[in-house]
């Protein structure tokens, strides 16, 4: 038994260790997602003033546009905004150069060098410049996110960063069918996604409770299908120009929109709008509850495939991305052979319109054309594993959306009023502390396009509710999608994550103050 002095020394050591763990390392910048390589050089920081020039190469219009997005972050009401210039200058400046000595960093990679003398950001392509700007932004004190506060000077620690993403598909899904969200709400979601280098916005545009996208030539779909939503509210829909505006806003921030029209199930809104989609020709009443699995279009009618063709043609024409998602989940009303026949014809229609087919993992039971993507949401089902492995062996690839990890509509803990619990509680650690490779037995990293966090909106009605369900958990999904597998650890990440609370406060994000995270108290530095 050690003597009293030994016990005291042991206690002191334990106290020191615990206090050290609760405080972040003072020098390490709290970047999310963690870059591939980050070196804190030390020495004096680079200091932004209201006159710090942003330098781009003459004629590099995309670099100038990306610099403009940085200007919007730095602009304050009375201190003006930094000038974007093309001439080299002796003033300490920020240079954004579309050039790279590293061809292994890809279109989204970049190198960022910060010293007291200046900042140099190089990337082979505009997306890399944009992601380097997000890293530079996160190196600045959180107060930079205020639009009116006087927040200069802004010191940025001297670092050397070399970075590129692990996975190409880093996404969030927003269900705009259960509850409708207007264009400005979607733009807000894109802004917050871009800060964390997410690059796919999957819009769930139709379901039992709503049809949300105008299809010229079929006005009933939105006149009837867009009329309501869960709970009987006013619903709504995107006109073609609304959808074009969302796609453009997202593309400017290097986010690709993946439109989903869910078929053959989850279709009560379409069935209520277009009688000929019903096998008996009779349209059901609009539905504002939250049951699933009870609806299906009539797979025996040619009118159904003409409808699918009209919808896919319209979506394909307005979607610059390669993918059109046709759902395929929870079809409890069709025999498997009818389901397979429908999915086979539906995916052929997608390919005919020059796009690649995406479906929820039920479609893995059907022979899929090469280039198809299976969105895995039920990893815990052994059957899914077998079907998905077979689809992958036939050339399909997967996006992982494990419902027991990153379904953002699952309550994060029992204190949450918003959200559902059928897949269990998805806490902040659950959403971060998992590894995509091995999620589905036998699916290699080369077949994994990436990860995507769905936010279903049965119980989510406003953009603040969206923020509350998405943050802080979406930041963890972004790191799973971007950062190297090695080195990720919840104990380290949670301290870094805590430092993003003040940034979200300055941005006005209505985030969930999870007790899993040691959020700093007080104002915003
Ligand atoms: N499952 C349904 C969704 C939604 C969800 C809510 C999928 C692929 C439950 N399908 O998840 O429409 O109702 O958590």
What are the strands of the beta sheet with 159-163, ordered from one edge? 37-40, 159-163, 110-115, 118-122, 94-97, 54-56, 84-85
Mean pLDDT of all residues in 127-156: 93
Ligand 1 center–CA 77 separation, angstroms: 43
**pLDDT at position 21 over 60:** no
What are the structure tokens assigned to 375, written together?
């969105």
Query: So what's the pLDDT on residue 152?
Result: 79
**Nearest-5° Cα angle at 346, 343 to 352:** 140
Q: Which H helix or E strand runs over 218?
A: none
Q: Express each pLDDT in 272-325 by its tens digit.
A: 999 999 999 999 999 999 999 999 999 999 999 999 999 999 999 999 999 999
| Segment among 40-44, 46-50, 377-381, 486-490 with least mean pLDDT | 377-381
Angle at the Cα of 108 from the Cα atoms of 102 and 112, rounded to 5 degrees: 60
Q: Is the pLDDT of residue 19 over 50?
A: no
Residue 330 beta carbon below 6 angstroms from any ligand 1 atom: yes
> Is there an atom of ligand 1 within 6 Å of 377 CB?
yes
Which pLDDT belongs to residue 383? 61
Helix (H, G, I), strand (E, B) or coil at 59: coil
Nearest CA to ligand 1 atom 5: 456
Contacts made by residues 414-422, CB under 8 angstroms, sequence distance 24+: 416/512, 418/459, 418/460, 418/465, 418/468, 418/469, 419/459, 419/460, 419/469, 420/456, 420/458, 420/459
Q: How many CB atoms lie within 10 A of CB 203?
A: 27
**pLDDT greater than 60 at residue 150:** yes
Interval 84-115: pLDDT, tens: 999 888 899 999 999 988 989 999 999 999 99
Neighbours of 187 (CB within 10 A): 15
Distance 474 CA to ligand 1 centre (A): 18
Give the residue from 348, 329, 31, 318 showing the smallest Cα distance to 195: 31
Q: Does the active-site annotation cover 108?
A: no
Is residue 343 within 8 Å of 366, Cβ to Cβ? Answer: yes
Q: Is there an atom of ligand 1 within 6 Å of 504 CB?
A: no
Q: How confident is the model at residue 25 (pLDDT cuts 50, 70, 90)?
A: very low
Per-residue pLDDT at 4: 64
Residue of 489 and 11 predicted with greater confidence: 489
Residue 24: which residues within 8 A CB-CB, separation 6 or more? Answer: 30, 495, 496, 498, 499
Q: Is residue 290 in contact with ligand 1, taking CB distance under 6 Å?
A: no
Mean pLDDT estimate for the chain: 94
Q: What pLDDT is stored for residue 278 in this prediction?
A: 98
Q: What pLDDT is stored for residue 17 in this prediction? A: 47
Kind and range of the H or E element at 38? strand 37-40
pLDDT of 123 above 60: yes
Cβ pair 85, 54 in contact under 8 A = yes
More confident residue, 24 or 183: 183
DSSP SS3 for 232: helix
Instruction: Look at residue 343 in the predicted model and tell me its pLDDT.
Output: 98
- Cα(423) to centroid(ligand 1), Å: 10
Handedness of CA 395, 175, 282, 274 (dihedral sign): negative
Q: Which atom of ligand 1 is nearest to the CA of 423?
A: 14
C-beta 265 within 6 A of ligand 1? no
Task: Report the C-alpha gap between 260 and 207 in whole angstroms.
Answer: 10
Q: Which pLDDT band, with edges at 50, 70 and 90, does 13 fall under?
A: low
Q: Provide DSSP, 13-35.
A: HHHHHHHHHHS--SSS---SSPP
Predicted local distance difference test score (pLDDT) of residue 22: 45
Region at 429 (left for phi over 0; alpha for psi -120 to 50; beta for the rest): alpha
> What pTM, to 2 d.p., does this model score?
0.94
Ligand 1: residue whose CA is nearest its atom 3: 456
Specify the DSSP element, H or E, that contains 409. Answer: none
Taking the centre of ligand 1 as the mean of its atom positions, its distance from the CA of residue 18, in whole angstroms, is 41
Rounded Cα distance between 102 and 183, Å, is: 38
360 lines ligand 1 (CB under 6 A): yes
Distance 293 CA to ligand 1 centre (A): 10
Q: Percentage of the chain surpassing pLDDT 90? A: 86
Which position has the higher pLDDT, 33 or 385? Answer: 33
Q: Which of 388, 428, 455, 444 is nearest to 514 (CA)?
A: 428
Residues 330, 441, 458, 479: which is the catalytic one? Answer: 330
Which atom of ligand 1 sits closest to the CA of residue 377? 8
Q: What is the distance between the alpha carbons of residues 518 and 60, in angstroms, rounded to a whole number?
A: 43
DSSP state of 447: G
Q: Where are the alpha helices (DSSP H) in 147-204?
A: 183-195
Residue nearest (by alpha carbon) to ligand 1 atom 11: 377
pLDDT at 153 over 90: no
pLDDT, residue 28, reads 85
Question: Exposure pattern of 45-81 as b/e (b: 16+ CB <10 Å)?
Answer: bbebebebbbbbeeebeebbebbebbeebbebeeeeb
| CA 202 to chain CA centroid, nearest Å | 8
Helix, strand, or coil here: 79?
A: coil
């Amino acid at each position: 038994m050690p003597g009293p002095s030994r016990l005291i020394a042991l206690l002191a050591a334990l106290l020191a260790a615990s206090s050290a763990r609760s405080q972040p390392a003072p020098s390490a910048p709290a970047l999310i997602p963690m870059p591939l390589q980050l070196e804190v050089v030390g020495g004096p920081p680079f200091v932004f003033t209201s006159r710090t020039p942003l330098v781009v190469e003459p004629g590099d219009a995309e670099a100038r546009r990306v610099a403009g997005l940085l200007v919007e972050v730095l602009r304050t009401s009375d201190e003006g905004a930094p000038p974007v210039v093309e001439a080299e200058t002796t003033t300490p400046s920020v240079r954004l150069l579309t050039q790279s000595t590293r061809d292994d960093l890809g279109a989204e990679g970049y190198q960022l060098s910060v010293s007291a003398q200046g900042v140099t950001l190089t990337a082979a392509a505009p997306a890399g410049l944009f992601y380097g700007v997000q890293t530079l932004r996160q190196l600045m004190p959180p107060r930079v996110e205020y639009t009116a506060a006087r927040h200069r000077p802004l010191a940025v620690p001297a670092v050397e960063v070399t970075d590129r993403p692990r996975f190409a598909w880093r996404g969030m899904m927003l269900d705009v069918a259960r509850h409708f969200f207007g264009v400005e709400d979607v733009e807000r979601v894109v802004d917050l996604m871009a800060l964390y280098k997410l690059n796919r916005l999957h819009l769930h545009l139709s379901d039992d409770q709503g049809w949300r996208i105008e299809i010229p030539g079929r006005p009933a779909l939105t006149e009837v299908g867009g009329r309501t939503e869960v709970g009987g509210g006013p619903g709504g829909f995107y006109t073609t120009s609304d959808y074009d505006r969302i796609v453009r806003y997202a593309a400017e921030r290097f986010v690709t929109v993946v439109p989903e029209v869910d078929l053959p199930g989850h279709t009560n809104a379409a069935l209520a709008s277009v009688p000929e989609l019903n096998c008996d020709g009779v349209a059901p009443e609009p539905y504002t509850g939250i049951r699933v699995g009870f609806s299906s279009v009539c797979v025996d009618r040619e009118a159904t495939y003409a409808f699918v063709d009209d919808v896919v043609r319209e979506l394909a024409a307005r979607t610059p991305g390669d993918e059109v998602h046709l759902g395929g989940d929870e079809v409890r009303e069709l025999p498997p052979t009818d389901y397979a026949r429908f999915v086979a014809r539906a995916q052929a229609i997608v390919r005919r319109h020059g796009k690649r087919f995406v479906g929820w993992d039920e479609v893995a039971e059907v022979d899929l054309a090469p280039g198809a993507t299976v969105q895995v949401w039920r990893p815990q089902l052994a059957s899914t594993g077998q079907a998905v492995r077979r689809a992958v062996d036939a050339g399909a690839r997967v996006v992982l959306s494990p419902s027991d990890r990153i379904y953002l509509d699952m309550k994060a803990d029992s204190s949450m009023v918003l959200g559902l619990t059928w897949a269990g509680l998805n806490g902040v650690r659950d959403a971060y502390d998992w590894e995509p490779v091995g999620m589905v037995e036998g699916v290699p990293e080369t077949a994994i396009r990436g990860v995507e966090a769905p936010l279903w909106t049965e119980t989510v009605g406003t953009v603040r509710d969206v923020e509350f369900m998405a943050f802080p958990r979406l930041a963890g999904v972004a790191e799973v999608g971007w950062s190297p597998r090695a080195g990720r650890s919840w104990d380290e990440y949670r301290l870094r994550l805590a430092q993003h609370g003040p940034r979200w406060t300055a941005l006005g994000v209505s985030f969930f103050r999870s007790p899993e995270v040691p959020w700093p108290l007080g104002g915003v530095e």
